[in-house]
Structure 1
């Protein structure tokens, strides 16, 4: 029996996030027409991950639609899987473990970014140092790909009077940026992306704002690759156990 694919998203009170996650599920389902592709939310939206796990039968591959590792991937999700005692559930790495740099570059191009722009990559922010490292690695990759200065600002850590964003803009200007472009390392637009956009508008008048990653093919590829790799690994394990 083909394992079910359960996409796990963070969840938000902003309906745009849920809409985006559901669009991702639909695109993935079209890429995997013989697979039952489901979606569950860790918080603030339905169906919940717990409800989806309780309803599942047979084997399941869980793919977290999270752009960096953190509390939700390392604590919340494993606890939910363990609570439902489903030994047939395989959880993959978060999709942010893949290089999503192409998606960021394409979204900037769609927004009209130019070679003279300095880029601010913005992400949610986390107390997990690995999460910050992943975001900064994406920024380095983006700078290498586009040959432009790139800085990082976390949406939940803008500081008093947006000092962190002010400093990032100052560094980009010093590096030769003629204009500032904002690159959201987010699955969806929402309150946090708007917080950074609003702060940026207060500081500069001609900024370019790219769209979030959304259903970009690179993200869909990351989900599909994660699922297929998990299925292949499970098949190898079963063969080894039978031999």
Structure 2
């Protein structure tokens, strides 16, 4: 019997996040028809990770639907697993450790990316240096793939008077960009993506805003591959 796959989302009061997470679960379940695919959340949504783990009938692979490593993946989630798991559990790396650059590029193209656009990748932001490394790696990959200048701006660190966003816009214009295009490194639209969009309405009217990653094939591939790699652990389970 295959291990259960438990997806772990961050959670949000914004219903759009839960809607997106459920669509991701369905897409993964379609790719893994013989696997019991379940969904849980670290905060603000139900079921919680602890509740989900307590009800697991057997071995479980936990795949965090997080786009960069940080407190939740390195401290919070392992503690919850240790406290609530009743059967063997293995946690994979966050899905953002895998290459999601194609998803960012496709969302930009879908939104109408044009020659002369300069790109701002927006992300949550974290005090964990590893998270910053992942985000900036994605930005470099996106710049290489699309042959355009790319800046990174954290939605939680726009700065006083949106100075960090202003600086990114100025750098892109100095690099030759005619228009600003925003690439949200987010699973779902929400208050943070809207914060950036609202600021851009003032600072760079007419900017292009791409959709979030959502159920892009690259994300579903990352989840499936993470599960398959971790699924061969019966001989040496990790809790």
Q: TM-score, structure 2 length as denominator?
A: 0.97
Count of paired positions: 237
Query: Secondary structure of 1:83's partner?
Result: helix
Deviations 1:127-174 (A, max 9, x none): 111111100100000000000000000000001110000000000011
TM superposition shift of 1:231: 1.1
Query: Secondary structure of 2:63's partner?
Result: strand
Q: In the alignment, does 2:155 pair up with 1:155?
A: yes
Check conservation: 2:54, 2:85, Cα contact below 8 A. Answer: no
TM superposition shift of 1:115: 2.2
Q: In the alignment, does 2:239 pair up with 1:226?
A: no
Q: Which residue of structure 2 aligns with residue 25 of structure 1?
A: 25
**Runs (5+) with no aligned partner, structure 1:** 239-243
Q: Which residue of structure 2 aligns with residue 123 of structure 1?
A: 123
The CA distance in 2 between the partners of 1:52 and 1:198, in whole Å, is 37
Mapping of residues 23-102 of structure 1, within 5 Å: 23-86=23-86, 88-102=88-102
Higher helix share: 1
Q: 1:133 to 1:147 in 2, by over 3 A?
A: same
The CA distance in 2 between the partners of 1:85 and 1:146, in whole Å, is 44
TM superposition shift of 1:86: 4.0
Q: Which residue of structure 2 aligns with residue 135 of structure 1?
A: 135
Q: Which residue of structure 2 aligns with residue 241 of structure 1?
A: none
The CA distance in 1 between the partners of 2:187 and 2:203, in whole Å, is 25
Q: Which residue of structure 2 aligns with residue 107 of structure 1?
A: 107
Query: Secondary structure of 2:17's partner?
Result: helix
TM superposition shift of 1:235: 5.0
TM superposition shift of 1:205: 1.4
Q: Which residue of structure 2 aligns with residue 165 of structure 1?
A: 165
Runs of 4+ in 1 over 4 A off after TM superposition: 235-238
The CA distance in 1 between the partners of 2:195 and 2:25, in whole Å, is 27
Deviations 1:33-58 (A, max 9, x none): 01000000000011111110010011
TM superposition shift of 1:206: 1.4
Query: Secondary structure of 2:187's partner?
Result: coil
Mapping of residues 176-215 of structure 1, within 5 Å: 176-215=176-215
